[in-house]
Amino acid sequence: MVELPKTPSLRLDGKRALITGGSSGIGLGSAVALAEAGAHVVIAARNESRLKEVHESMAEAGYSAETLTMDVGDTKALVSQINAQPAFDVVVNSAGYARPAPALDTTPEDFQQVMDINVRGAFFVSTSCARAMVDAGNGGSIIHISSQMGHVGGIDRSVYCASKHAVEGMIKALAIEWGPHNIRVNTICPTFIKTPLTQVTFDNPERVEWIKSKIKLDRIGEIEDIMGSVLYLASSASALVTGSSLMVDGGWTAG
């Protein structure tokens, strides 16, 4: 007889997960994927009425969920809100911001806003959650929703690309620092996905042509295209994966 290897489980029963930006788009898809796998999900975003509606839908679907009104642009507040929570096992940082514009039209205020949410927010969500993970001693998985634009350039996206390239560097350094605590830090890098964030781009026929010309699989992404990768990186199926970027880009960055 041969001793057969065991396929790692994708279940997350008994785990607690924080999802920033969990009330819409990719974050909402992440929350559903993790809750369906058995995790208790804490869904964080700013708009309370939207959070209330999401909570109702999650409860009706039978998922274990709570909401947290949080602005990742307010570092002091987010740190104290995360400190007030029991340690998380899984974190999906999906809160993000884009203001597509030519570089020559970009104001210091626009630049600051993108960096505050996409880089500073991502950093302090990571460190606040990791501190409690270290204290709890159970390890954890921190997943940032970065972008294919963390690996290439894009039209009208100089600041957004700068912010996502920063996230890609950040997770590599954090993976080195927190590996000894079994805290894994990775990114998911989606191509264009239909969400409220990208509506302005999809309203522009020239941009739609550009997008279609770059995605080898010849279709725009859906939220469901991201959910499996979130589950993979959250679970023991990816136990040896850290400091990595999972491209979910339909082949955009292949060439």
Ligand X SMILES: NC(=O)c1ccc[n+]([C@@H]2O[C@H](COP(=O)([O-])OP(=O)(O)OC[C@H]3O[C@@H](n4cnc5c(N)ncnc54)[C@H](OP(=O)(O)O)[C@@H]3O)[C@@H](O)[C@H]2O)c1
Which residues of this protein are in contact with ligand X, per CB under 6 A?
A: 20-21, 23-27, 45-47, 50, 70-73, 94-98, 117, 145, 147, 190, 192-193, 195-198
Quick one: 46 or 181, whose CB is closer to ligand X? 46
Quick one: 178 or 192, whose CB is closer to ligand X? 192
**Catalytic residue (one of 63, 97, 160, 232):** 160
Which residues touch 252 (CB under 8 Å, ≥6 apart)?
Answer: 148, 152, 191, 214, 215, 216
- Nearest distance in Å: CB 152, ligand X: 12
- Nearest distance in Å: CB 10, ligand X: 22
| Residue 186 near residue 244 (C-beta atoms within 8 A) | yes
- Nearest distance in Å: CB 30, ligand X: 9
Quick one: 198 or 235, whose CB is closer to ligand X? 198
Question: Which of 16, 50, 233, 213 is closest to 141 using CA atoms?
Answer: 233
Quick one: 45 or 233, whose CB is closer to ligand X? 45
Quick one: 94 or 242, whose CB is closer to ligand X? 94
Q: How far is it, in rounded angstroms, from Cα 21 to Cα 169?
A: 21
Q: Is 63 marked active-site?
A: no
- Nearest distance in Å: CB 11, ligand X: 25
Q: How far is it, in rounded angstroms, from Cα 56 to Cα 179?
A: 37
DSSP E strands: which ranges in the chain? Answer: 16-20, 40-45, 65-69, 90-93, 140-145, 183-190, 245-248
Q: Which residue is nearest to ligand X (CB)?
A: 96
DSSP string, 44-65: EES-HHHHHHHHHHHHHTT--E
Kindly report the three-state secondary structure assignment for every residue of 209-237. Answer: HHHHHHCCCCCCECCHHHHHHHHHHHCHH
> What is the token pair recorded at 43?
């869904």
- Nearest distance in Å: CB 6, ligand X: 33
Catalytic residues, by residue number, are 160
